Amino acid sequence: MPDPKKNGLLTAVLSALAAMFGVQSDRNRQKDFSSGSPLRYLLTGVLMAALFVVGVILLVRLALMLAGA
């Protein structure tokens, strides 16, 4: 595992993904909770939720385009 201090963004993204999926290992959870400010996790979470919504919209657009509507 990379050092959370060095590779903060990647861990935050992975943790947000784990949260969206609903499963996270206890080891990672302990690490996240001891890595200082929660703000980074909150912001990443909100950003990824927005990305998810945009992704769904694009997927529907694509499906409609392929269906010729």
Partner 1 sequence: MIRKVWLLPWIGWLVSLPAIAAWDVNMRPGSTAIAREVYDLHMIIFWICVAIGVVVFGVMFWSIIHHRKSRGAEARNFHENTAVEILWTLIPFAILIAMAVPATATLIKMYDNTDAEIDIQVTGYQWKWRYQYLGEDIDFFSSLATSREQINNEAPKGEHYLLEVDNPLVLPVGKKVRFLFTANDVIHSWWVPDLSVKKDAIPGFINESWAIPEEPGIYRGQCTELCGRDHGFMPIVVDVRPQAEFDQWLADTRSAAAAQKASATQEWTLAQLMERGEQVYNTSCAACHQANGQGIPGAFPALAGSPMVTGDIGAHIDIVLHGKAGTAMQAFGAQLNAVDLAAVITYERNAWGNDTGDSVSPQRITELQQ
What residues make contact with partner 1 under the rule CB under 8 A? 21-26
| Shortest distance, position 24 Cβ to partner 1, whole Å | 8
Count CB-CB contacts under 10 A for residue 30: 10
Nearer to partner 1, 42 or 52 (CB): 52
* Cα–Cα distance for residue pair 10/42, rounded to 1 Å: 14
Alpha helices per DSSP H over 1-69: 8-21, 26-33, 39-66
- The residue (of 21 and 39) whose beta carbon lies closer to partner 1 is 21
CB of 60 to partner 1, least distance (A): 12
